[in-house]
Structure formats: structure tokens, C-alpha cells
């Protein structure tokens, strides 16, 4: 089995504007994904909103610079992830279509295979 990281992106302003009813539907969709993936989920977490991030980068002299917030030039920011095991990308795609971020106009998911160094 290969490992895949599902990165969940969205617009924090859109998430903040969701009603209780929308959040319940959103959470139910994640529960459906978790039910389908079952024990294939290795880990998954919702992240705090992007402004709470801290970014480290080195400058031209090699000194480490710390910046509050993510290094973004877009409204979409990383909001959470799932790390799953699956037989192939097609299996991951089948599961990921259940995620509400795939269906919302302000968000989406990115799926990447995890490099196996072993």
C-alpha cells in the first residue's frame, strides 16, 4: 500500500461565514469520508486558520527570517489534511470526492503520494 497526503485548501472568510446548518453538512461529509476510508486513515487534522501560521525562510545571507502568517498570495490556505494508505491514486480519488471542499467553489483538495524512503 502506498501513502497519500490529502491537503485541504479553502478561503478562511468563506469558512467563517458558514451557517450552523452549513457546518453540520460540512462535518457530515467529512464523517462520510472517514467512514469510507476507515482504517486506511493514518492521521488527519483540521489546522488553525492561516493567520496563526509562522513561516521560516532564509534570506540572501543565510540568516533565518521568521514571518507571522503563511507566505501566501492567494485567498486559499491550507486548512487541514488526511494521511491515508491506499492501493493506488484511483482509490484515493474515489474517497476524496466525498470531501466537502471538493464541491465548494472556494476550496479544493490536493493529493500527493508520500515518498517511501524505505
Domains in the chain, ordered, with CATH? 2-46+78-113 (3.30.70.1060)
Dihedral angle of Cα 12, 112, 102, 35, to the nearest 10 degrees: -100
Distance of alpha carbon 92 from alpha carbon 76, whole angstroms: 22
Q: Would you state the pLDDT for residue 58?
A: 85
User: What are the pLDDT digits (tens) for 60-76?
Assistant: 898 888 887 766 566 77
Which distant-in-sequence residues (6+ apart) come within 8 Å of 45 by Cβ? 80, 81
Burial degree of 79 (CB within 10 A; 0-12, 13-18, 19+): buried
- Tell me: pLDDT of 106 over 70: yes
Which distant-in-sequence residues (6+ apart) come within 8 Å of 14 by Cβ? 104, 106, 107
pTM for the full predicted model: 0.85
Band the pLDDT of 95: cuts 50, 70, 90. very high
Amino acid at each position: 500500500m502506498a501513502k497519500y497526503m490529502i491537503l485541504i485548501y479553502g478561503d478562511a472568510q468563506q469558512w467563517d461565514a458558514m451557517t450552523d446548518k452549513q457546518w453540520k453538512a460540512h462535518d457530515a461529509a467529512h464523517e462520510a469520508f472517514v467512514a469510507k476510508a476507515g482504517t486506511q486513515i493514518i492521521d488527519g487534522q483540521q489546522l488553525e486558520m492561516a493567520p496563526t501560521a509562522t513561516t521560516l525562510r532564509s534570506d540572501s545571507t543565510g540568516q533565518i527570517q521568521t514571518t507571522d502568517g503563511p507566505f501566501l498570495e492567494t485567498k486559499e490556505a491550507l486548512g487541514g489534511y488526511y494521511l491515508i494508505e491506499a492501493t493506488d491514486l484511483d482509490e484515493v480519488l474515489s474517497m476524496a470526492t466525498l470531501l466537502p471542499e471538493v464541491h465548494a467553489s472556494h476550496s479544493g483538495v490536493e493529493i500527493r503520494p508520500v515518498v517511501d524512503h524505505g
